[in-house]
Structure 1
Amino acid sequence: MLRARPRPRSRILARAATLALLAALALVMPPHPHPAQAAIGGITWQDEFNAPAGTPVDQSRWRFDIGGGGWGNNEQQYYTNSTSNAVHDGQGNLVITARKENPANYQCHYGRCEYTSARLLTAATFTQAYGRFEARIKIPRGQGIWPAFWMLGNDIGSVGWPSSGEIDIMENVGKEPNTVYGTVHGPGYSGSGGISGSRTLGQPLADGFHTYRVDWEPNSIVWYLDGVEYHRVDPGRLGGNRWVFDHPFFLILNVAVGGYWPGYPDAATQFPQQMLVDYVRVSGYTSGDGNPPPATTRIKGAQSGRCIDIPGANPVDGAKLQIWDCNTTAAQAWTFASDGTVRAMDKCMDPAWAGTANGTEVNLVSCNGNPAQRFTLTGSGDLVNLSANRCVDVRDWNPNNGGKLQLWDCTGGANQKWSRA
Structure 2
Amino acid sequence: MRRLLRPVLGVATAALAVLACTTPASPASAADTPYDVLVFSKTAGFRHDSIAVGTQTIRDLGAANNFTVTATEDAAAFTSGNLAQYEAVVFLNTTGDVLNATQQTAFESYVNSGGGFVGVHAAADTEYGWSYYGNLVGAYFRSHPAIQQATVRVENRAHAATAHLPQNWVRTDEWYDFQANPRANVRVLANLNEATYSGGVMGADHPIAWCKTVNGGRSFYTGGGHTQASYAEPAFRAHLLGGIRYAAGRTKADCRPETGYTTLYNGSTTGWSQAGPGSFTNSDATLSSVGGMGLFWYSAKQFTNYSLKLDWRLAGDDNSGVFIGFPPSSDPNSAVNNGYEVQIDPTDTADRTTGAVYGFKSADIAARDAALNPPGEWNTYELLVEGERLQVFLNGVKINDFTNTDPVRSLPGHIGIQNHGTGDDVSFRNIRIKELGGTNPPPTGTGRITGLAGKCLDVRNAATADGTQIQIYTCNGSAAQTWSVTPNSTVRALGKCLDVNAGASADGTKIQLWTCNGSGAQNWSAQSNGTLRNPLTGKCLDVSNNSSADGQAVHLWTCHTGANQRWILP
Q: TM-score, normalised by structure 1?
A: 0.56
Q: Which residue of 2 aligns with 1:213?
A: 383
Whole-angstrom CA distance in 1 between matches of 2:391 and 2:544: 31
Q: What pairs with 1:314-393 in structure 2 (closer than 5 Å)?
A: 314-337=463-486, 340-393=489-542
* Alignment of 1:55 onto 2:162: no
Distance in 2, Cα, partners of 1:199 & 1:133: 18
Shift, 1:377, TM fit: 2.4
Distance 2:418 2:544 in 1: 47
Query: Taking structure 1 as reference, are residues 134 and 203 closer, same or farther at Cα in structure 2, changes over 3 Å only?
Result: same
Any conservation in 2 of the 1:394–1:416 contact (CA below 8 Å)? yes
Q: Structure 1 regions of 5+ residues with no counterpart?
A: 10-46, 66-70, 88-95, 99-105, 110-118, 184-194, 260-272
Which has the higher mean CA deviation after the structures are superposed, 408-417 or 164-173? Answer: 164-173
After superposition, the C-alpha distances for 1:355-395 in whole angstroms (9 at most, x for unaligned) are 11111111222334443222222343221122211101111
Alignment partner of 1:162 is 2:333: yes
| 1:170–1:212 CA contact under 8 A, matched in 2 | no
Structure with the bigger percentage of helix: 2
Give RMSD over aligned pairs. Answer: 4.7
Report the counterpart of residue 182 of structure 1 in structure 2: 357
Q: For the Cα contact (< 8 Å) 1:362–1:406, is it kept in 2?
A: yes
Partner residue of 1:172? 344
Q: Pick from 119, 127, 130 the counterpart of residue 303 of structure 2.
A: 130
**8 Å Cα contact 1:151-1:250 kept in structure 2:** yes
Tell me if structure 1 keeps the 8 A contact 2:385–2:411: no
In the other structure, the counterpart of 1:199 is 363
Q: Tell me, in whole angstroms, the C-alpha distance in 2 between the residues paired with 1:375 and 1:323.
A: 18
- Partners of 1:49 and 1:141 lie apart in 2 by 22
CA shift, 1:295, in A, is 2.9
CA–CA separation in structure 1 for the residues paired with 2:561 and 2:419 = 39
* d(CA) in 2 for partners of 1:63, 1:333: 44
What do residues 243-268 of structure 1 show as CA deviations (whole Å, max 9, x unaligned)? 9976xx46548798845xxxxxxxxx
1:17 corresponding residue in structure 2: none
How far residue 312 of structure 1 moved from its aligned partner, in angstroms, is 2.1
- Describe the SS at the equivalent of 1:406: strand
Which blocks of at least 5 consecutive residues in structure 2 are unaligned? 10-152, 169-262, 271-275, 374-378
Cα offsets for 1:293-341 (capped at 9, x unmatched): 443221111x321111112222333222111111200111111247933
State how 1:139-288 maps to structure 2 within 5 Å.
144-150=317-323, 159-163=330-334, 170-176=342-348, 179-182=354-357, 196-205=360-369, 206-207=371-372, 211-215=381-385, 222-226=389-393, 229-232=401-404, 236-237=407-408, 249=414, 251-252=416-417, 258-259=423-424, 280-283=432-435
Question: Structure 2 vs 1, CA of residues 332 and 140 (structure 1 numbering), >3 Å: closer, same or farther?
Answer: same
- Superposed CA offset, 1:206-255 (max 9, x none): 53666431537xxx754211366314265x236xxxx9976xx4654879
Number of equivalences: 306
Contact 2:541 2:565 (C-alpha < 8 Å) held by counterparts: yes
What code does the residue aligned with 1:129 have? Q
Decide whether aligned partners of structure 1 residues 253 and 368 sit closer, same or farther in structure 2, where only a CA change above 3 A counts. closer
Q: 1:168/1:332 Cα in 2 relative to 1: closer, same or farther (>3 Å)?
A: closer
CA distance in 1, matches of 2:557, 2:280: 51
Distance of 1:48 and 1:250 partners within structure 2: 25
* Counterpart secondary structure, 1:299: coil
Partner of 1:3: 3
**Do the aligned residues in 1 keep the contact of 2:265 with 2:431 (CA within 8 Å)?**
no
Contact 1:139–1:147 (8 Å) recurs in 2: no
Which whole-Å CA distance do the structure 2 matches of 1:120 and 1:164 have between them? 8
2:488–2:524 Cα contact (<8 Å) kept: no
CA distance in structure 1 between the partners assigned to 2:526 and 2:264 by the alignment: 38
Larger Cα Rg: Structure 1 or Structure 2? 2
Q: C-alpha separation between the residues in 1 aligned to 2:464 and 2:411?
A: 31
Which structure is richer in relative contact order (CA contacts within 8 A, separation 6 or more)?
A: 1
Aligned to 1:406: 555
* Amino-acid identity (%): 22
Contact 2:444 2:487 in 1 (8 A): no
Q: Any idea what SS the aligned residue of 1:353 has? A: helix
The alignment's TM-score, normalised by the length of structure 2, stands at: 0.43
- SS for the counterpart of 2:502 is helix
Mapping of residues 51-90 of structure 1, within 5 Å? 54-56=165-167, 61-63=266-268, 80-83=281-284
The whole-number CA distance in structure 1 between the counterparts of 2:419 and 2:454 is 49
Query: Cα 1:48–1:369, aligned 2, differ >3 Å: closer, same or farther?
Result: farther
Query: Which amino acid is the alignment partner of residue 207 of structure 1?
Result: L
CA distance in 1, matches of 2:264, 2:418: 14
CA contact (8 A) 2:342 2:354 kept: no
Measured in 2, the distance between the counterparts of 1:327 and 1:362 equals: 21
**C-alpha distance 210-161 of structure 1, shift in aligned 2 (>3 A):** closer
Question: Which residue number corresponds to residue 545 of structure 2?
Answer: 396
8 Å contact kept, 1:163–1:244: no
8 Å CA contact 1:351–1:363 kept in 2: the answer is: yes
